[in-house]
Chains A and B, each alone.
Chain A
C-alpha cells in the first residue's frame, strides 16, 4: 500500500504537480513517527504509514502556521480518514481551497492512542478510542487511493466515541462539576490543546489578548474553566473529532469530552456532522427560521 503512495508522491513531485508532500516518517525511537515535509522526489522512500502515525497533519494546512506562507502553490498530504475530515472542514470554512490540496488517502485500521502504548501491533488494548466505530477507515474525500475504493455508508448519526461522555451525563450536576474541578486542577495552561488543533485558526487567540483580558491567564481554576469552555464553544460544530487535544495534553486531561458532547448536541439539534461535506456551513454561522427554541421564554 505504502509503495503505491510513494510512487504517486514521486510522480507528483517529478512532474511538478505539487511543491511539497506532507506525510509521516520514522521518528526518534521505534514507537514514534514524525511528520515530514518532502520536497525532493528522491526522499519519498522516507514515507511510511502504519498505526503509529497518530499526528494530525492537517494542522500544517491551517493558515495560522508559517508553512502555509512559504509560497507553496499545491500541497499533497497523506491523510487517514479522520485527518481528511479535518481537511474537508477547513475547506468548508474557506480556510483552504480544494485545488490547493492533493489528498493521498490511506486505508486505516486504527491508530494507537499514545506512542508509549505501541508494542509492535495494534490491538484493543492500545487502539485510540476515536477508532472504535470509525466510518472513515476508507477515506471519503481523496485524489488518490491505493486500490479500489469501496462504497461505505456514512449517513449514521454521530455518537460520542468516549464512554465517559455518557457516564458524565448520568451524574448529578454538582458531581459533574466536581469531576471537572478535580480534572482541571491539573491543567497548567500550556495550550497544547490549542496548538495541536487543526481548527483553531484565529491569528491572535482570545487567551493571548490582554486588552481586555477575557480569559484569566493564570492557571487557577477560574482561568482554566474559562479557557476550556471558550475552547469548546469555539469548536462547536467544527470539531471533527481527531482527538489530538487529549493526546497532546501533558497532564492527561480528557479535554475532548467537551467537544464530543457538543458534537452530540449539534447532531441532535441540527443533524450536522462536521467534516463530511465540502459545502455545508457549520451550524453556528447559519440558521433556519424554525430552529428549536424550547428553552426560550
Chain B
C-alpha cells in the first residue's frame, strides 16, 4: 500500500481553512481509511466556512503560504443552516479583490467537501498541490518578510560589538 514517494524541487506550503462539520471530518475519514493525500496541506479547523474571515487568507499569504484552500459543507448542508452561503458570497468578492491586487487567484481554491467525501478531499488536495507546485513559490511578499525592528536590533548589536 501507499504511494511511491517522489522528491520534488519545490514543495508548496498550503494553508487549508476548513469547516469542522464537513471537510475536517472528510479529511479525518481519509486518514482513518488510510488514503494518501499530499502532505503539503496544513489544516486549520473552524466551526463553519462562514467563520473563515478573509483576514485569515490575507495573513496566510503574508506569512509565506503559497496557496490557500477553503472548504465547507455543500450548500444546504450547513450545520448552522446558512454559514456556507455567506462564505460563498464573501469569497466571490474576495477573489476579485485579490485579483485586482495582483495576486493569482489560482492560488486560492474553494471547494465543497462533505464528511463522506474523503475521496474528493484527496483528489482536490492533490490537484491543488500540483497546481500550486507548477505556479511556483509565491514571491510577492518575499522582500518584505524581514522585520524592520529585528533589523534595527541586529544593527545595534553589530555596532556595540
A interface with B by C-beta (< 8 Å):
168-169, 173-180, 206, 214, 216, 218, 220-222, 225-226, 229-230, 232-233, 236-237, 257-258, 261-262, 265-266, 269-270, 283-285, 287-289, 291-293, 295-297
Contacts and interface: CB of A to CB of B under 8 A. Distances in A.
Contact of B124 (A218, A261, A269, A297): A297
Nearest to A233: B54
Contacts of A283: 89
B93 interface: yes
Interface in B94-129: 94-105, 109-112, 124
Contact of B100 (A176, A178, A216): A176
A266 B88 contact: no
Interface of B is mostly: helix
Interface of B: 54-55, 58-59, 62, 75-76, 82, 85-86, 88-105, 109-112, 124, 140-141, 144-145, 147-149
Given A174-B102, A289-B75, A214 B97 contact: no
Contacts of B140: 177
Nearest to B127: A297
Given A218-B149, A258-B97, A287 B55 contact: no
B96 A230 contact: no
11 contacts: A176-B100, A220-B148, A222-B145, A225-B141, A236-B97, A261-B96, A262-B96, A291-B85, A292-B92, A295-B110, A296-B110
Contact of A229 (B58, B76, B92, B149): B58
